[in-house]
């Protein structure tokens, strides 16, 4: 099973494709960021996000797409804009016929780190460890997208084995 995790944003959209490689293990297939020009009009940003996510889905052919829910901030305008970005991401997956699962940030942290108040650095550390990545300089958006994909994959799995730290 291939799971495409997406961390929505209006400046950067993180994405991470993982694949199940056994009963309780996952491997990273591809990951990165879609960077959006800050000078674009908001409607053009949404179009850019939609087109790039549509192309990513077409190219990677995931079985499921996992999208992080909006973190509600004190800035209503920012929260609404992020909701619009999520909307076009979900639309891109739906139009491609791909099932979409949504996860709250706290749920993602709980699944990957073990507690819902985990820091960004703790998420990065666990994503690198679980997926056995050699790329230890993951950007936050990329690590978050891989964490969302892992949350989706780990739900329902029992006896998940986290690899021992290599020395």
- Asked if 142 and 11 count as a contact pair (C-beta separation under 8 A), the reply is no
Choosing from 37, 68, 69, 159, which is the catalytic residue?
68
Nearest-5° Cα angle at 28, 57 to 128: 135
Other CB atoms within 10 A of residue 100 CB: 18
7 is an active site residue:
yes
Catalytic residue among 141, 144, 159, 164: 141
Active site residue 141: yes
Q: Residue 154 and residue 112: Cα distance in Å, rounded?
A: 8
Residue 36 DSSP label: -
Is 102 in the active site?
Answer: no
Catalytic residue numbers? 7, 68, 141
């Amino acid at each position: 099973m291939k799971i495409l995790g997406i961390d929505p944003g209006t400046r950067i959209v993180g994405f991470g494709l993982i694949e199940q490689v056994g009963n309780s293990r996952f491997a990273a297939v591809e990951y990165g960021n879609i960077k959006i020009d800050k000078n674009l009009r908001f409607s053009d940003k949404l179009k850019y996000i939609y087109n790039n996510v549509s192309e990513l889905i077409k190219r990677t052919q995931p079985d499921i797409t996992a999208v992080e829910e909006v973190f509600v901030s004190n800035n209503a305008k920012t929260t609404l804009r992020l909701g619009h970005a999520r909307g076009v991401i979900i639309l891109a997956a739906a139009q491609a016929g791909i099932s979409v699962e949504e996860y709250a940030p706290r749920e993602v942290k709980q699944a990957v780190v073990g507690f819902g108040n985990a820091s960004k650095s703790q998420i990065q550390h666990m994503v690198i460890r679980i997926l056995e990545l050699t790329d230890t300089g993951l950007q936050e958006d990329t690590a978050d997208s891989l964490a969302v994909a892992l949350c989706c994959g780990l739900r329902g799995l029992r006896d998940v084995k986290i690899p021992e730290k290599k020395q």
